[in-house]
Amino acid sequence: MEKIVLKTDLSCKHCVMKVEPVLKNEAGIIDYSVDLEHPDKLVTISSEGSNIDSVIAGFKKAGYSAEKI
């Protein structure tokens, strides 16, 4: 299993709700957590072969940015 950490511009629970479909529907994502308290608004993903570029594109389509760190 791979752990992927994304730096995002999510700012509230409503923002998280808008990107959750991306995280829930991406094949290979086992689990994820969102840390809105962290200055970089981290999304930590446990993955088994998910396409992280697809996840980042999904964030962009929802109106948010994400980059792998």
Q: What domains can be seen in the chain, in order of their start residue?
A: 2-68 (3.30.70.100)
Torsion, CA 56, CA 1, CA 23, CA 68, rounded to 10: -20
| End-to-end Cα separation, the chain, in angstroms | 17
Q: Is the pTM of this model over 0.95?
A: no
Radius of gyration over alpha carbons of the chain, in Å? 11
CA atoms within 13 A on the CB side of 10: 26
Q: What is the pLDDT of residue 1?
A: 87
Per-residue pLDDT reduced to its tens digit, 11-55:
999 999 999 999 999 999 999 999 999 999 999 999 998 899 999
Count other Cβ atoms within 10 Å, centred on residue 39: 7
Element (H, E) at 69: none
